[in-house]
Structure 1
Amino acid sequence: MENVKKSLILFVEYLQIEKNYSQYTIVNYTANIEEFALFMKEEGLAELKQVTYQDIRLFLTKLYQQKLSRRTIAKKISSLRSFYKFLNREKVLNDNPFALVSLPKKDGKIPSFLYEKELELLFSVSDLTTPLGQRNQALLEMLYATGIRASECEGLKIQDADLFMGTILVTGKGNKQRYVPFGSFAQEALELYLRDGRKKLLKQGNLHDSIFVNNRGNPLKAGGIRHILNEIVKKSASSLHIHPHMFRHTFATHLLNEGADLRSVQELLGHTHLSSTQIYTHVSKDQLKKTYMAHHPRA
């Protein structure tokens, strides 16, 4: 399996340097390829060039037997297809058997989002007289106000925030940048945190420009953001199960429910394809009924 290891090292360098993918994405790609390498070993396939379409069909069967979602399986196959495509480009391999495999359709689940009353509960628990409370409030407000990903939030720098204009420069997937506006609640929380809480959290020698920091003054990572949200939920005595991406879902859903057009939401989210944004076109039953009653001539 030595050739798989060498090829994977080259592929990871390609993802880092040419594609500029996030570390989170690279870890997932690597895990998917290593899983396939283990399958190859079990099937007695010593080299990547030995893999045939029939081998891939067997691999797919094993994935389905694990009762994985179609979305998860699609991501695994997509990773391996990209891996082989890269090796074709580098003349390491001549064929890409994964090109013959059609990806399973996604489950089409509606993204979970928070209702306004649930948000109000979360926004009410932080102690704004403490540095951590100020940070947590600013974090919550920014996630909801901008719909940014946890990885994008992790990468925010002081110079990215324009408090006068109420906008933030976000660096998304593939190093693509976009400006996202934020409202008065987020601005007030961010100003308080930057003026007071962040300075107190920074320790001597911690000279960096990351906006959000942990309790040791180091840049806050995506895992830390998830931990903070879980702690806020505990304090609110709520039974909610939330994650950073839920604020992104909520941001998009609330904008569309209030009449924002799909193209604008696509731009704010940083989606390359409109189809990625269309999953948010669902609306709550209450909103649907409200719209009907307000606009149908015979309501």
Structure 2
Amino acid sequence: MTWEQAINDYKLYLKIERGLSNNSIVNYSLDVKKLTKHLNDNNITTSPIQIEAETIQDFIYQSAKLVNARSQSRLISGLRGFFNYLIFEGYRSTNPLELIESPKIGRKLPNTLSEQEINQLISAIDLSKPEGERNRAILETLYSCGLRVSELTHLKLSDLFFDEGFIKVTGKGNKQRFVPIVPSTKKYITIYIKAIRSHLNIQPGCEDVLFLNRRGQQLSRAMIFTIVKRLAEKIGLHKSISPHTFRHSFATHLLENGADLRAIQQMLGHESITTTEIYMHIEKSHLKDAIERFHPRK
């Protein structure tokens, strides 16, 4: 088995068996391609089945000089997944990364926006332009439903269950979940659909896509990033933000106002509660309030 064959088979496995998105598949296969480049650059001839732990260890050691601990940990995780796949398919009996430990990295707290900053960003949208109503609906949906940017761009008209108060979201691995939607966001989406979207020349294949560009095509992730960046510049916001910041803010504000962590986990579509626990970085004033309210020796 050649490296090229192994990578192509692995990509098919990730798509068909794991149901991962194209972005995830590209990232996972890129980890393996970095290893093959190292082998080629050093004239090392070995196959995915024959490669030994020492060779990979040397590659990891060389990579550590060029990337930070987080990137190194991501690389090790990606390679470990590739060799686990080879074991799963019966090509190998052991994983050469079994004894290679990932570097310990601190958990990075996500950037968040205050309610006032979110209101300022939305108020800065120029509603005199047709895309203004769309952009307001986009930001309201990101914040009130806690969506990933890819979940937002793939949202469909048929995913809107407004009478029931929910939207259907397709997340990572094509896993679907229902997320509650507040009346104000329903109102802004409805305005956009009736006043703006209904007048677009919608392209074939996009008839059911909710948020469209001026040409009647599905919005790209990059366009959502651009919308957020321009609004931040417009209000002079000196924070590094992205569409994902609205998702972080959604979770943080819910937690600060007393929402249950497991409910937030379900709405965000996290498989593990430990992923959601990163939002426990609430202000110390909330911790003090918890002690004063609930501790028996207050």
TM-score (norm 1): 0.91
How many residues are treated as equivalent by the alignment? 297
Equivalent position of 1:196 in the other structure: 195
**Cα distance in 2 between the residues matched to 1:156 and 1:256:** 25
Aligned to 1:158: 157
The letter for the 2-side match of 1:107 is G
Q: Which residue of 2 aligns with 1:284?
A: 283
The answer as to whether partners of 1:156 and 1:211 remain within 8 angstroms in 2 is: yes
- Report the Cα distance in structure 1 between the residues aligned to 2:95 and 2:180, rounded to whole angstroms: 43
Paired residues of 1:147 and 1:251 also in contact (CA < 8 A):
yes
Task: Find the aligned partners of 1:204 and 1:109 in 2 and give their Cα distance.
Answer: 41
User: Is 1:130 matched up with 2:129?
Assistant: yes
Instruction: Note closer, same or farther for the CA distance 1:227–1:170 as it changes in structure 2 (3 Å cut).
Output: same
Equivalent position SS for 1:97: coil
Change beyond 3 A, Cα 1:50–1:270: same
Matched residue, 2:138: 139
| Partner Cα distance (1:45, 1:150) in 2 | 41
Q: Which amino acid aligns with 1:140?
A: L
Q: Are residues 201 and 297 of structure 1, via their aligned partners in 2, closer, same or farther at CA, if it must alter by over 3 Å? A: farther
Q: Deviations over 1:255-292 (max 9, x none)?
A: 11101111111111111111111111111245445556
Which residue does 1:32 correspond to in 2?
Answer: 31
Cα 1:206/1:151, change in 2 over 3 Å: closer
For 1:111-158, what per-residue CA distance to the aligned partner results, in whole angstroms no more than 9, with x for missing partners?
111111111111101123432101110110000011111111121110
Moved more, 120-129 or 6-15: 120-129
Q: Which runs of 5+ in 1 are unaligned?
A: none
Quick one: distance in 1 between partners of 2:202 and 2:151?
24
Residue 79 (structure 1) aligns with: 78
- Residue 103 of structure 1, CA deviation: 2.6
The answer for the alignment partner of 1:109 in structure 2 is 108
Relative to the length of structure 2, the TM-score reads 0.91
**Cα contact 1:214–1:224 (8 A) shared by 2:** no
3-state DSSP of counterpart to 1:179: strand
User: Per the alignment, in what secondary structure is the counterpart of residue 99 of structure 1?
Assistant: coil
Determine if contact 2:206/2:217 at 8 Å carries over to the other structure: no
**Residue 177 (structure 2) pairs with residue 175 (structure 1):** no
Residue type at the aligned position of 1:54: E
The answer (yes or no) to whether the contact 2:203–2:215 under 8 Å persists in 1 is: no
Deviation, 1:204, is 6.1
**Aligned partner letter, 1:90:** E
CA distance in 2, matches of 1:202, 1:208: 10
1:273 is aligned to 272
Taking only the aligned residue pairs, the percentage that are identical comes to: 36
In 2, the alpha carbon distance for the partners of 1:201 and 1:132 equals: 11
